[in-house]
Structure 1
Amino acid sequence: MMKLILTLLFLTQAVFGCALCAVYSPKTRVVLDVKASDTLIKEIDVKWIVTKAFTKTLNNVYDTNLNNKLDKDELENVKIAFRNYVEPRDFLVNISYGKKINKLRSNRIKVNDLRVDVENGLLHIRYKILLDYKLVKDDILYFNTNDKEGYFIVTIAENAVKYDPTVFKKETIDTNSVSFKIIKDIKVQKKEEITPTKKVEVKEKIKETPKNVDENYLTIFSKKIKQNLLQIDKGNTFALITLLFISFIYGIIHAMGPGHGKSLAFSYFMSNKSSYTRAFIISQLAAFIHIIGALILVLISVFLISTFLNSFVDDSIKMITKLTAVFIMLLAVFILYKKIKNKNSSCPTCCAHHGHEHTHEHNHDHDHEHAHEDEKKMKKQDLFFVLTAGIIPCPGTVVLFLYAFVLKTYFAVILASFAISLGMGLVIFASSFLSLNLNKVSSKVEKVKNIIEIASPIFIFVLGLLLFFNVNVI
């Protein structure tokens, strides 16, 4: 049993690794510092701390001078993207103040001093919410932060909420909400030293690894692509040729990794006879759809959501992956049904009866009509396969399109995407080519042929099943 579980886990990682490489989920911890004077709640200092993975992703996209860090001008672009999203949404904050907590309606807030920087490899976003609320004993200051649209995953860092314990009594409501009840008797006007609050630092444990280990081949190719895009922007024609070559190699290496429809293509052509030309076209179309899916996600993210700083891409990939898994299973059931139906219709008794009753009717035109209908059905099946094999966009390709919008090199990126698609298509075709040859060899042995024709769609169904359940593990 354990061997079976381990085998399934291995297959899940090996076949569907593309959907696992998403790093665009900006999980964010929020640090609060509530500041008060003798008579007023002055302000709340808010600090967002995003994960190292997302910080690294932003660095890959916005580091236009390729010095492996976000400089002042580059951080300004990040700040603009952040402001464009949160400002119309009141900085994702709900604040109330009074005798009772109002979770439905927020007080009007005023924000200033928005700053963005990087500390210890983590992106920090800071801003101040100006309040100037009069201190009234037993009144409650309520703070909630949440992105209703789900593009940010925000939680309040429980161990890093700072306040004056002689003025407030804190109560944590949930991971997104906290309240501060006024316990200070305001009528007693005594000049007392405010108890200094302990400075709490929130740090993410960063495992230090050698630079050469940290930069895998995909990171290196990404940097090369961006470097050439910068040269193209300056008018360097040779850089465009270099970019296309690098993109083609990138596509090959990228597709040689886990996922990208190789196993699905192998199983599909094991269960269906095909020509090499048709297999090549189908493989290239699957790779092309893979690229188009990434482009559509980026276009939606940029023009509808108006920011790169969200988990839209990651969430969309999960949803599309789950939907694709269902389509793959439906395709497998259809192929299996067709194979079983053909075998039943070609049984000796049926053939004998068919030949006895209708031999005179089966002329050349009738046979040609049957062949034409079969070819039409096969084309629909191939189209369905292309969509299911290529519809899941890979985040590695998404980054390339993000470069286009950051660096404004649209034409070069479109050409590069075609080069990547061609490289990926060749790898998928290699899997299809191997499958077709094995199919031809096995077709010479009737028993082996029958087993493969039934086993292949079953394996396709298992691939879809693994993909479906793998979504929740991402």
Structure 2
Amino acid sequence: MSDLSGLATWATDQQRGFQKQMAGAVRALKAGEPGAYVTLLSATAAYGFVHALGPGHGKYLVGGVGLGTSVSTLRLMTIAGISSLTQALWAVVLVYGGFWLIEASASQLTSLANDILAPASYLAIACVGLTLIWRGARSLKRKSSHHHHHAECGCHSHGPTPDQVARAGSFRDSLVLVLSIAVRPCTGAIFLLVIAWQMDIQMAGAAAVLIMGLGTAVLTSLVAVSSIAARSVAFASSTSFSGQHIALPALQIFAGALISVVSIGLLGLVP
């Protein structure tokens, strides 16, 4: 726990540093200083990566799905990337749309993100976790029944394979994952977009926030790869037929419980 606490403290300190760099780069860009745009994009990419180490950004959801389902590495990395970029685009729509359409203040937009959208995101992610638990329990019960019948009749086709399960409803499931992560915009993105709007460099602000999303996508993609590697190790450890028989449903239940507990915990931290 001390290691995780130290990592969180380090990430928070780094975020503050990158926020200062972003603010300075925006002012330099407005003043027409050379190299300011490169500095801005570099700082936002680094901020997106480091900020994703903290709570939120759906990395625990991506990791749980990678651990508890038979999703492929490419598909899960694609989900991680799309969700991060969608989150960035949503921040642009929220801030610029709020300023332009309803003349909202910066504090109102921040309050909307923290007090309404953040809890909505955590609840949506918790529901995904509960769905994984339900699917895992149902699959475990079905597979146990099929396994018992298999021992009696010697048949070889009882229920869907893990690959078939992964393909079923893949677009719908992927869309749910993306939206549950992206509904809450990053506070750093809101901070940057507000400054960009006030200094009348909206396009530069939007581009920088998209780069921030790519930085976040790199971290969540690493989590995706790591979770699938952990799942492969778990399957390799289940050398017996009976072990392999229950490995996926058991991992699905475990991952769903982990996602739900973390989401509810984060929900409790919302003021």
Q: TM-score, normalised by structure 1?
A: 0.48
Asked whether the equivalents of residues 95 and 190 of structure 2 are also in contact (C-alpha less than 8 Å), the reply is yes
Of 367, 392, 395, 2:184 maps to 392
| 2-structure distance, mates of 1:316, 1:419 | 20
| 1-structure distance, mates of 2:232, 2:88 | 32
| 2-structure distance, mates of 1:229, 1:470 | 32
Name whichever of 419-428 and 319-328 sits farther off.
319-328
Change (3 A) 1:374 1:354: farther
Higher strand share goes to which structure? Answer: 1
Higher helix share goes to which structure? Answer: 2
Of 204, 223, 235, 1:431 maps to 223
Deviation at 1:216, TM superposition (A): 4.4
1:375 maps to 167
Change (3 A) 1:324 1:230: closer
1:203 maps to none
| 1-structure distance, mates of 2:114, 2:212 | 19
| Residue identity matched to 1:406 | Q
Of 98, 106, 119, 1:301 maps to 98
| 1:306 counterpart SS class | coil
CA RMSD of aligned residues (A): 3.4
Asked whether the equivalents of residues 321 and 467 of structure 1 are also in contact (C-alpha less than 8 Å), the reply is no
Deviation at 1:351, TM superposition (A): 4.2
Of 451, 455, 458, 2:254 maps to 455
Highest RCO, 1 vs 2 (Cα 8 Å, sep ≥ 6): 2
1:290 maps to 87
| 1-structure distance, mates of 2:153, 2:94 | 53
Of 38, 41, 44, 1:247 maps to 44
| 2-structure distance, mates of 1:335, 1:467 | 19
Asked whether the equivalents of residues 89 and 210 of structure 2 are also in contact (C-alpha less than 8 Å), the reply is no
| Residue identity matched to 2:201 | T
Deviation at 1:230, TM superposition (A): 3.2
| 2:219 counterpart SS class | helix
| 1:443 counterpart SS class | helix
Is the counterpart of residue 220 in structure 1 residue 17 in structure 2? yes
Asked whether the equivalents of residues 290 and 393 of structure 1 are also in contact (C-alpha less than 8 Å), the reply is yes
| 2-structure distance, mates of 1:378, 1:388 | 15
| 1-structure distance, mates of 2:170, 2:45 | 30
| 1:256 counterpart SS class | coil
1:445 maps to 237
Of 118, 121, 137, 1:324 maps to 121
1:197 maps to none
Deviation at 1:376, TM superposition (A): 4.5
| 1:444 counterpart SS class | helix
Number of aligned positions between the proteins: 255
Deviation at 1:403, TM superposition (A): 1.6
Deviation at 1:248, TM superposition (A): 1.2
Is the counterpart of residue 311 in structure 1 residue 103 in structure 2? no
| 1-structure distance, mates of 2:51, 2:59 | 12
Deviation at 1:457, TM superposition (A): 0.8
Q: Render the CA deviation track for 1:80-107: whole Å, top value 9, x for unaligned.
A: xxxxxxxxxxxxxxxxxxxxxxxxxxxx
Deviation at 1:382, TM superposition (A): 2.1
| Residue identity matched to 1:311 | Q
Aligned-pair identity (%)? 20
Q: TM-score, normalised by structure 2?
A: 0.79
Unaligned runs of at least 5 residues, structure 1: 1-6, 18-214
| Residue identity matched to 1:321 | A
Unaligned runs of at least 5 residues, structure 2: none
Where does 1:50-449 land on structure 2 (aligned, <5 Å)?
216-236=13-33, 238-308=35-105, 310-346=107-143, 347-351=146-150, 375-446=167-238, 447=243, 449=247
Is the counterpart of residue 470 in structure 1 residue 265 in structure 2? no
| 2-structure distance, mates of 1:373, 1:218 | 40
Asked whether the equivalents of residues 120 and 183 of structure 2 are also in contact (C-alpha less than 8 Å), the reply is no
Deviation at 1:422, TM superposition (A): 1.0
